């Protein structure tokens, strides 16, 4: 299959982002097909039963970034069905950069 990439950046309210993440979560929980859309374009993708999930939080000065990445290989559902799930607590969150410590108030 040829490479396909849809990328859209927009400024939204926290509520709007929350609504989109909730809709994605409900679609993932409801079945293997997920409809994704941005700016009038949409695509339906079939998500494997087992996926790689990556969460990255980066703090750089006054800018904070959260990246969520979900990836899988087509046909991976059957191949990884025998693999026991890794407990979420077994993989500690890893910050790529730490926030600068706040200066203590003068006493």
Whether the per-residue pLDDT at 105 is higher than 80: the answer is: no
Contact present, 23 and 15 (Cβ < 8 Å): no
pLDDT average, residue stretch 95-107: 48
Looking at per-residue confidence, does 97 or 16 come out higher? Answer: 16
The pTM for the full model equals: 0.64
Instruction: Convert the pLDDT of each residue in 33-72 to its tens digit.
Output: 898 876 677 889 999 999 999 999 999 999 999 999 999 9
In the predicted model, what is the mean pLDDT of the chain? 78
Whether the per-residue pLDDT at 24 is higher than 70: the answer is: yes
């Amino acid at each position: 299959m040829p490479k396909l990439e849809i990328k859209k950046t927009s400024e939204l309210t926290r509520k709007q982002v929350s609504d989109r993440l909730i809709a994605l979560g409900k679609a993932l929980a409801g079945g293997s097909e997920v409809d994704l859309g941005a700016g009038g374009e949409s695509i339906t993708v079939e998500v494997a039963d087992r996926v790689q999930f990556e969460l990255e939080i980066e703090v750089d000065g006054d800018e904070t970034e959260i990246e969520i990445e979900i990836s899988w290989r087509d046909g991976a559902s059957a191949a990884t069905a025998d693999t026991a799930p890794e407990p979420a607590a077994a993989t500690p969150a890893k910050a790529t950069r730490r926030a600068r410590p706040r200066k203590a108030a003068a006493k």
